[in-house]
Amino acid sequence: MKVDGTMWGLAFLWGAFLGLLYFGGLWLTVKTALDKRRPGRWLAISAIVRLATVLSGFWIVLRMDPAAFFFTLAGFFLVRIALTRILGPESKGPHHATHP
């Protein structure tokens, strides 16, 4: 089995790109949904387009190198974590949510 660090690095970057498309698109969709005439349709179309794009991107990597798929997933979820911290609520901690 040949270890190809370059391929895995590119797979990680590809996953990060897919993560930016998916989670960045989700953020934009939710942010602009209420301004749309039919927000439900906007959310549904966005979900379909985002899922189709990301699943196609994952499929490409999986067909090329199954081991690289895991690096793609790592990049994808790392972007999710980063965007959650960057774009998340201002106040974080146990007192952020209002509980009785």
pLDDT tens digits in sequence order for the chain, 100 residues long: 456 788 889 999 999 999 999 999 999 999 998 888 998 999 999 999 999 999 999 999 999 988 899 999 999 999 999 998 988 876 555 555 554 5
- Cβ atoms of 14 and 71 closer than 8 Å: no
Which residue is listed with tokens 């993560």?
19
Q: Which pTM value belongs to this model?
A: 0.80
The span from the CA of 78 to the CA of 72, in Å, is 10
**Domain spans, the chain:** 25-84
Please give the pLDDT value at position 79.
95
